[in-house]
């Protein structure tokens, strides 16, 4: 379904093969002011991604045809690398959830869930894109360039493709050089979930960031581990 043209909060593609779930979620997002679209299987999802170019996807892992992980992999490998992705997973899909985070998912919600909570997660992911001041100057470091306004990162002169969440983590740490943050603090500041108990997603995102921006991820120059605490950005 698509909303009225005066909705300007962003476009969201809901992908779930259960029509009841997809329609309810789309209705809640519509009421929240998003331009919403629905796909019921993996093939339709890929067609909708190419047609709509959504700002965010709410993506169920268990899909007929092309499963959610494969849809996500194709999106991340294609032209939609910066499309945010929130995974819908069942309680027993922890392994797939971890794979999804490693592929670049920005968040996940476990079924059954509250549609209102899901809308809040969508708000939180997309809000971070809009809260960077347009005049904030790039952060220039030795071989690393972070442009908050353009959400662009160069490492060693080459552009690095980051997901929205990866960029948010990097920018937050870079704004606080030398300061150590626990995983819980990063969840609170970056994910904005102070109540979130599973902090493994922080570890996954740090690992992915190191693989993308560090010359040697095993001996990181920028994102350091503070043993017994968490992580800090090298001053």
204 shares a domain with 149: yes
Q: For the chain, how many structural domains are there in total?
A: 2
Residue 2 in any domain: the answer is no
228 shares a domain with 205: yes
36 shares a domain with 121: yes
Instruction: Name residues whose C-beta falls within 8 Å of residue 173's C-beta, 6 or more positions apart in sequence.
Output: 181, 223, 231, 232, 233
Residue 99 in any domain: the answer is yes
Domain boundary among 65, 99, 130: 130
108 shares a domain with 85: yes
Domain boundary among 68, 97, 130: 130
For residue 143, give both structure tokens. Answer: 């071989």
117 shares a domain with 63: yes
Burial of 19 per CB tally in 10 Å (0-12, 13-18, 19+): exposed
What CATH number does residue 60 fall under?
Answer: 3.40.50.2300
Residue 29 in any domain: the answer is yes
202 shares a domain with 183: yes
Q: What is the pTM of this model?
A: 0.65
Burial of 189 per CB tally in 10 Å (0-12, 13-18, 19+): middle
Residue 5 in any domain: the answer is no
143 shares a domain with 125: no
Cα–Cα distance for residue pair 101/96, rounded to 1 Å:
9
Residue 66 in any domain: the answer is yes
What CATH number does residue 172 fall under?
Answer: 1.10.10.10
Whole domain around residue 47: which residue ranges? 11-130
Domain boundary among 130, 151, 179: 130
Residue 113 in any domain: the answer is yes
226 shares a domain with 151: yes
103 shares a domain with 183: no
Per-residue pLDDT of the chain (235 residues; tens, 9 = 90+): 444 434 357 899 999 999 999 999 999 999 988 999 999 999 999 999 999 889 999 999 989 889 999 999 888 887 555 788 999 988 777 788 788 887 778 888 888 888 988 998 898 888 765 555 556 788 998 889 999 888 899 998 899 988 888 998 999 999 999 999 999 888 888 877 655 567 788 999 999 999 999 999 999 999 999 999 999 999 7
125 shares a domain with 46: yes
- Taken as a whole, the chain contains a residue count of 235
Q: For position 229, what pLDDT does the model report?
A: 92
């Amino acid at each position: 379904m698509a909303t009225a043209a005066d909705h300007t909060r962003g476009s969201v593609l809901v992908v779930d093969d259960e029509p009841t779930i997809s329609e309810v979620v789309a209705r809640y997002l519509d009421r929240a002011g998003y331009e919403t679209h629905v796909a019921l299987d993996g093939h339709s999802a890929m067609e909708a991604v190419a047609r709509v170019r959504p700002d965010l996807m709410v993506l169920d892992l268990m899909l007929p045809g092309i499963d959610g992980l494969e849809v996500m992999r194709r999106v991340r490998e294609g032209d939609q690398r910066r499309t945010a992705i929130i995974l819908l997973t069942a309680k027993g899909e922890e392994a797939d959830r971890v794979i999804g985070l490693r592929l670049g998912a920005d968040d996940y919600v476990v079924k059954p869930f509250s549609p209102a909570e899901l809308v809040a997660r969508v708000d939180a992911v997309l809000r971070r894109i809009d809260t960077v001041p347009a005049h904030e100057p790039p952060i220039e470091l030795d071989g690393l360039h972070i442009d908050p306004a353009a959400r662009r990162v160069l490492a060693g002169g080459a552009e690095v493709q980051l997901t929205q969440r990866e960029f948010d983590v990097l920018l937050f740490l870079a704004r606080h050089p030398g300061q150590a943050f626990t995983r819980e603090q990063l969840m609170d500041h970056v994910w904005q979930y102070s109540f979130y108990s599973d902090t493994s997603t922080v570890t996954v995102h740090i690992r992915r960031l190191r693989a993308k921006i560090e010359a040697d991820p095993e001996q990181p120059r920028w994102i350091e581990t503070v043993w017994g605490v968490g992580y800090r950005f090298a001053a």
